[in-house]
């Protein structure tokens, strides 16, 4: 997340021209006035300075070039609440290096900008632009940053996008772009960020996409991609973010996965068809903070090497076919106690059997979400579950856990969601449950509890009947999509 912010800041902020404001008269002013005329709403009066009594180089958001008086190099009206269309007259500002209109309410099409050979940054994200990405954009051969994310663009990525050989940041996320990922991308050797998430891309990830020596982020989640992750991608020693979640990608992860991607901080492969074992080599990606493998077909044990991930914050292995059945295969829980920043551990809907190891109580004091639901757990819950006093969500439902919950439940004072239904818990529901004054959802049904409802339950002021929220997911740019 931090990295992406940094990347976005870089791509938002570069301005290389030696420019100043020069009074005078040029046709650039006329093109700017055309642009102003196409704006239908300017709620913050951003364009109030755009009048003939002020030199256009001093207008809000405008910068001109020192060496060519009157020629506009920067038009930056980021987040000004502007509505209307983007006038094609901007295509005549041939000295333009930066066009930044992100976070407004522009509608209509992206105008023809193919004559802007000096353009380095085209930032139009978070508007309501429609239509296709014009193929003529590939004429802007100096483009370094292209951000069209968060519009309603349709059609395909221009096949010859590879002509933008200076591109470092390519962001087309959250549109309705169809077709495949063009192999010509391989031409753009210094790409640092490729974000095509949340579109309708099909086909496989082209092999060529991996051959970018400086690639830091590859975000392809929320498409309809199939096939495998190309072996070339698994060789990006600088890659920090790999998010291909919510696609139809499936293959066995190579055993040296973690060794070939040593810089990963965020790995999201959730909602795909990955199978085979979780590679133990993931323990070598020492900077990893988010590992999301939710909803795949992974088998075998959870490798204890994950305990070497000292920065791990979010570990979601839910809904796979992972097995734990003896001391050795449960060792990963002991190992994870080294992950002092772990906030979410989701292991639900797997094939974990037997007793919950008492080392569960040694997990990070920062742990907020713990899911062990829908496994085959039996025996009593170790009382040092009560050590996990930071827990806000605890889900143990649909197992065969038995015994009393008295020894631990009342200590979890920060719980908002407690899900224990579908077990064999016995004894009274302890009065200490009344200590849990932040509880909003409690599920106790289908157990063997006995005795009266404890008076302490009366303290639960905010009980609601909604379903328990799933633990929060912090995959990059993913928060908005579920």
Ligand X SMILES: *[C@@H]1O[C@H](CO)[C@@H](O)[C@H](O)[C@H]1NC(C)=O
Measured between alpha carbons, how far is residue 74 from residues 22, 102, 225, 288 in Å? 13, 14, 37, 38
Q: Would you say how long the chain is, in residues? A: 482
Of 284, 316, 320, 387, which one interacts with ligand X (CB under 6 A)? 284
E strands, 137-219, are 145-147, 169-171, 193-195, 217-219
Does 232 interact with ligand X (rule: CB under 6 A)? yes
Size of the site for ligand X (CB under 6 A): 53
Least Cβ distance, residue 257 to ligand X (angstroms)? 10
Helix (H, G, I), strand (E, B) or coil at 16: coil
Alpha helices by DSSP H, listed for 257-405, are: 257-260, 331-336
Candidates 297, 389, 462, 482: give the one binding ligand X (CB under 6 A): 389
What tokens were used for 477? 């740019």
Out of 6, 20, 25, 67, which residue is the one contacting ligand X (CB under 6 A)?
25
* DSSP symbol at 231: T
Residue 213 has a CB neighbour count (10 Å cut-off) of: 10
Contact 153, 177 (CB under 8 A): yes
Q: Coil, strand or helix: which one is 332? A: helix
> Residue 169 CA to chain centroid, in angstroms?
16
The number of beta carbons lying within 10 Å of the beta carbon of residue 448 is 10
Name the residue number minimizing CB distance to ligand X: 114
Nearer to ligand X, 342 or 374 (CB): 342
From the CB of 24, what's the least distance to ligand X, in Å? Answer: 7
Q: Restricting to residues 457-476, which ones interact with ligand X according to CB under 6 A?
A: none
CB atoms within 10 A of CB 30: 13
CB of 401 to ligand X, least distance (A): 18
Residue span binding ligand X (CB under 6 A) among the ranges 65-73, 276-284, 317-325, 453-461:
276-284
Q: Of 73, 92, 301, 364, which lies in the binding site for ligand X, with binding defined by CB under 6 A? A: 92
Nearer to ligand X, 258 or 422 (CB): 258
Q: Which of residues 323-362 bind ligand X (CB under 6 A)?
A: 334, 358-359, 362
Binder among 46, 64, 72, 89 for ligand X (CB under 6 A):
89
Q: Residue 198's closest CA among 466, 465, 482?
A: 482
User: If binding is defined by CB under 6 A, does position 100 make contact with ligand X?
Assistant: yes
Report in angstroms how near the CB of residue 463 gets to ligand X at its nearest.
19
The binder of ligand X chosen from 73, 104, 168, 184 (CB under 6 A)? 184
CA distance 287 to 473: 18
Q: Of 301 and 447, which CB lies nearer to ligand X in the complex structure?
A: 301
Q: In this complex, which beta carbon is closest to ligand X, that of residue 49 or of residue 431?
A: 49
Residue 39 tokens read as 């704006």
Closer by beta carbon to ligand X, 385 or else 397: 385
Give yes or no for residue 127 binding ligand X (CB under 6 A): no
CA distance 108 to 116: 20
Q: Which is nearer to ligand X, 21 or 166 (CB)?
A: 166
Measured from the CB of residue 292, what is the shortest distance to ligand X in angstroms? Answer: 20
Which residue, 25 or 214, is less far from ligand X as judged by CB? 25
DSSP state of 122: E
Sole binder of ligand X in the list 187, 204, 338, 431 (CB under 6 A): 187
Nearer to ligand X, 40 or 128 (CB): 128
13 binding ligand X? (CB under 6 A): yes
* Distant-in-sequence, close-in-space partners of 384: CB < 8 Å, separation ≥ 6: 358, 360, 361, 362, 408
For position 166 contacting ligand X by CB under 6 A, the verdict is: yes
> 344-346 and 314-316 as β-strands: parallel, antiparallel, unpaired?
parallel
Q: In the beta sheet, which residues pair with residue 394?
A: 370, 418
- In the block, which residue shows the tokens 């663009």? 153
Task: Find the binder of ligand X among 280, 342, 345, 377 (CB under 6 A).
Answer: 280
CB 317 within 8 A of CB 350: yes
Helix (H) or strand (E) holding 323, with range, is: strand 321-324
Residue with tokens 């004559």: 115
Our finding on whether 121 is near ligand X (CB under 6 A) is yes
Say how far apart CA 449 and CA 234 lie, in whole Å: 51
Contact between 83 and ligand X per CB under 6 A: no
Among 88, 108, 300, 454, binds ligand X (CB under 6 A): 88
Eight-state DSSP code of residue 203 = S
448 or 469: CB nearest ligand X: 469
Closer of 40 and 165 to ligand X (Cβ) = 165
> Residue numbers of the site for ligand X (CB under 6 A)?
12-13, 15, 25, 34, 49, 51-54, 76, 78, 88-89, 91-92, 98, 100, 114-115, 121, 136, 139, 141-142, 152, 160, 162-163, 165-166, 174-176, 184, 187, 231-232, 235, 258-259, 280-281, 283-284, 305, 334, 358-359, 362, 389-390, 414
């Amino acid at each position: 997340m931090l990295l992406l912010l940094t990347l976005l800041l870089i791509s938002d902020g570069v301005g290389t021209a030696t420019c100043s404001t020069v009074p005078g008269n040029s046709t650039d002013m006329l093109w700017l006035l055309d642009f102003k005329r196409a704006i239908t709403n300017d709620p913050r009066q951003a364009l109030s300075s755009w009048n003939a009594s002020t030199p256009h180089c001093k207008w809000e958001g405008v910068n001109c070039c020192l060496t060519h008086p009157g020629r506009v190099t920067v038009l930056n009206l980021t987040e000004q609440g502007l509505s209307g269309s983007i006038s094609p007259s901007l295509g005549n500002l041939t000295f333009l290096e930066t066009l930044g209109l992100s976070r407004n309410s522009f509608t209509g099409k992206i105008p023809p900008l193919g004559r802007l050979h000096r353009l380095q940054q085209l930032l139009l994200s978070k508007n309501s632009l429609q239509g296709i990405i014009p193929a003529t954009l590939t004429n802007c051969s100096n483009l370094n940053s292209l951000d069209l994310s968060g519009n309603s663009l349709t059609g395909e990525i221009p096949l010859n996008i590879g002509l933008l050989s200076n591109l470092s940041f390519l962001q087309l996320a959250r549109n309705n772009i169809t077709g495949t990922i063009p192999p010509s991308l391989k031409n753009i050797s210094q790409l640092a960020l490729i974000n095509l998430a949340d579109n309708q891309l099909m086909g496989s990830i082209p092999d060529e996409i991996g051959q970018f020596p400086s690639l830091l982020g590859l975000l392809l989640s929320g498409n309809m991609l199939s096939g495998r992750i190309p072996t070339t991608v698994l060789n990006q020693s600088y890659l920090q973010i790999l998010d291909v979640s919510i696609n139809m990608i499936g293959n066995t992860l190579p055993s040296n996965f973690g060794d070939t991607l040593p810089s990963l901080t965020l790995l999201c492969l959730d909602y795909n068809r990955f199978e085979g074992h979780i590679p133990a080599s993931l323990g070598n990606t020492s900077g990893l903070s988010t590992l999301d493998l939710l909803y795949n077909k992974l088998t075998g044990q959870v490798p204890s090497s994950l305990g070497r991930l000292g920065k791990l914050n979010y570990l979601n292995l839910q809904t796979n076919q992972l097995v734990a059945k003896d001391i050795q295969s449960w060792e990963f829980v002991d190992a994870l106690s080294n992950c002092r920043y772990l906030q979410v551990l989701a292991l639900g809907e797997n094939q974990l059997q037997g007793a919950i190891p008492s080392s569960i109580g040694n997990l990070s004091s920062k742990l907020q979400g713990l899911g062990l639901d829908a496994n085959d757990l039996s025996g009593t819950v170790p009382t040092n579950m009560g050590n996990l006093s930071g827990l806000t969500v605890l889900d143990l439902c649909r197992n065969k856990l038995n015994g009393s919950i008295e020894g631990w439940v009342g200590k979890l004072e920060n719980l908002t969601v407690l899900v224990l239904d579908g077990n064999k818990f016995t004894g009274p529901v302890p009065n200490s449950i009344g200590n849990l004054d932040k509880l909003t959802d409690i599920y106790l049904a289908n157990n063997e509890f006995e005795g009266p409802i404890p008076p302490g339950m009366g303290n639960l002021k905010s009980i609601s009947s909604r379903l328990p929220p799933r633990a929060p997911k912090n995959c990059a740019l993913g928060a908005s999509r579920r």
